[in-house]
Structure 1
Amino acid sequence: MGLSNVAITAINKVYSQPQKLLSFADTNALLALCDRLQRPFVHFWTTEVPTLILGINDRHLPNLSAALASLKYHQFDYFLRNSGGLAVISDPKVLNISLFMPLKRTPYSVDEAYAYIAQLIRSCFDTLTIDTYEIVHSYCPGKFDLSVNGQKIAGIAQRRTENAVVLMLYMSVGGNQDDRSQTVIDFYQAGEAQSQHHWQFPVVDPATMTTLQQLGMPTITNDDVRQRFITSLLDTGDAVDLSTAPEFLRSEQFVQEQAKQLTKIQLRNQQLPVV
């Protein structure tokens, strides 16, 4: 069963370093419009530079300034999002996929929504046995981590409004996953994460994470994964609109909502210490 009787608008964007906050301003704007218009979207995006995206719980690190300074040492940019609890990494070989689902027609529960996108990913890679359970020693561990042979390849989070939900997934397509993991290890060590007991931060083991390229697909690209995901959506019976996203992103309703959401995330990020 598909998401909607309206075609899913597919959006594909690459965010430069100065545009980094737009990645989640766009996410929040699309969620608001998905709710308002009962219109589904899929948003594929990457960042031009390696970026650690802090979750809301990361603000509570005992030494956040030192944690952020460690990112500069690793030549990582960073910003604070308004969803999910813990840090994840985005770079040119990580594909972020956000699926926006109207809920009036099909009121998916939290677990049903997670299961829906997990099945879409399984359909993308029928040669892999993809499990769904928490990979405890990955970064940003969660109940619906996607893994192969105990190694995480993707993490999923979701946000909800009254009548819409967005499933936000990052997929490690290629690149050096061990280096990503080490950056997060150093981030939490510098931030003295384990010196307190009120907030739970992961103890990351690089061996618990991998990439699609390391799983026997050495030439797979972000474009390949994007096309496979669109095919999975089509196979569920949905129509996918590949042509009108530029027009929609220039529309008054989107531009106004994006500006409102960008202001909110800018104010949130002004709360981070300067390092």
Structure 2
Amino acid sequence: MNTLTHHLTNRPWRFIDQSTLGRYFEALQSFAYDDALCIAVGTSSSDSILRTWVHHHTVVLGIQDSRLPFVQEGIEYLEDQGYHVIVRNSGGLAVVLDEGILNVSLILKEEKKFSINDGYEFMFALIQQLLLPYGVDVHAKEVIGSYCPGSYDLSIDGKKFAGISQRRIRGGVAVQIYLCVSGSGSERAKLIQTFYSRAVQGQPTAFEYPKIVPETMASLTELLNEELTVQAVIHQLLLTCKEQGAHLSSSSFTELEMQSYEEQYVRIIKRNERING
């Protein structure tokens, strides 16, 4: 049984779509939503969840980014370019979120044999299936020169279009991906390249920050030579899950989940304030 069949076939999944709220909510809220939903799924008060979300003009920094020698100068540059800057409370480095980037969270109950790699492989397999109609080879390996590099960078012809991360809380797992659907991947990369230049200024750093080569990044629209939209990709994502046998139903947050979200949001805001110092 492959990973898609195991997690999707004849399994109930809730679909929560927040892709049209980009102008009205912040990325910190998304992290709080996923944490609250992780707790709900982990405690068996919810079925597995597929959540889609979009944020406008936001740069999410990693905790390590926030400790760069001249990070405030880097942040001021991003803000001058019209971006809101936050620091995530999990691993990873700087990424760009905007209206051309679709974020997807797969939230499921942690099983004893469900390793970190299993979570990555599940998302990778889903994206491979999603892009099957385009006849492209999707690779999962680090793309050197990209921002927020990792062993599960997704690429076509050597150009990165997505990155996968994971959070595990109280028995729940959130496997998250950002998919560059449209726009210029290299322009987004140039933005982060300049951030690092302003935030480091040749000084020694406590970690090896990425030396960005903008040409290593692209959107699916650029890679597939087809004008794609976030909504079209969501539609294809839902079709893919249904074709794999998932029982999908549109859903909203329960009262208990909203209460949990409020608690998680307060916690994340406080942590962000401490990190920003």
Aligned counterparts of 1:89 and 1:67: Cα–Cα separation in 2: 14
Aligned counterparts of 2:25 and 2:255: Cα–Cα separation in 1: 23
1:168 and 2:176 correspond: yes
1:115 and 2:118 correspond: no
Q: 2:230 is matched with which residue: 202, 205, 222?
A: 222
Q: Which residue in the other structure is 1:196 paired with?
A: 204
1:261 and 2:259 correspond: no
1:18–1:229: structure 2 CA closer, same or farther, 3 Å change rule? closer
Q: Which residue in the other structure is 1:77 paired with?
A: 84
1:32 and 2:35 correspond: no
1:65 and 1:273 in contact (8 A); partners too:
no
CA-CA distance at 1:231 after TM superposition? 2.2
1:194–1:109: structure 2 CA closer, same or farther, 3 Å change rule? farther
Aligned counterparts of 2:27 and 2:177: Cα–Cα separation in 1: 17
Name the SS for the 2:54 alignment partner.
strand
1:134 and 1:143 in contact (8 A); partners too:
yes
Aligned counterparts of 1:22 and 1:6: Cα–Cα separation in 2: 28
1:209 and 2:217 correspond: yes
1:64 and 1:273 in contact (8 A); partners too:
no
Q: How does 1:240-255 map to 2 (within 5 A)?
A: 240-242=248-250, 245-246=251-252, 249=253, 251-255=254-258
CA-CA distance at 1:237 after TM superposition? 2.4
- Structure 1 residue runs of 5 or longer lacking an equivalent are none
- 2-11 or 261-270, which moves further after superposition? 2-11
1:193–1:230: structure 2 CA closer, same or farther, 3 Å change rule? farther
Aligned counterparts of 1:197 and 1:21: Cα–Cα separation in 2: 26
Q: How does 1:35-184 map to 2 (within 5 A)?
A: 35-37=42-44, 39-47=47-55, 49-104=56-111, 107-126=113-132, 127-184=135-192
Once superposed, what is the RMSD of the aligned Cα atoms? 1.9
Q: 1:271 is matched with which residue: 247, 268, 274?
A: 274
Name the SS for the 2:182 alignment partner.
coil
Q: Which residue in the other structure is 1:11 paired with?
A: 16
Question: Normalization by structure 2: what TM-score?
Answer: 0.90
Q: Which runs of 4+ in 1 moved over 6 A?
A: none
1:234 and 2:237 correspond: no
- The residue type paired with residue 62 of structure 1 is P
| Identity value in percent | 27
CA-CA distance at 1:265 after TM superposition? 1.3
Name the SS for the 1:155 alignment partner.
strand
CA-CA distance at 1:108 after TM superposition? 1.6
Aligned counterparts of 1:182 and 1:96: Cα–Cα separation in 2: 21
1:176-209: CA deviations, max 9, x gaps? 2222111101111111075224212111111100
Aligned counterparts of 2:136 and 2:118: Cα–Cα separation in 1: 22
1:58 and 1:86 in contact (8 A); partners too:
yes
1:71-125: CA deviations, max 9, x gaps? 0122111111112220111100000001112124x73211121111101101111
Name the SS for the 1:3 alignment partner.
helix
- Structure 2 residue runs of 5 or longer lacking an equivalent are none
CA-CA distance at 1:22 after TM superposition? 1.2
1:193 and 1:201 in contact (8 A); partners too:
no
1:35 and 1:162 in contact (8 A); partners too:
yes
- The residue type paired with residue 262 of structure 1 is Y
1:272–1:17: structure 2 CA closer, same or farther, 3 Å change rule? farther
- The residue type paired with residue 234 of structure 1 is K
Aligned counterparts of 1:91 and 1:141: Cα–Cα separation in 2: 19
Question: Normalization by structure 1: what TM-score?
Answer: 0.90
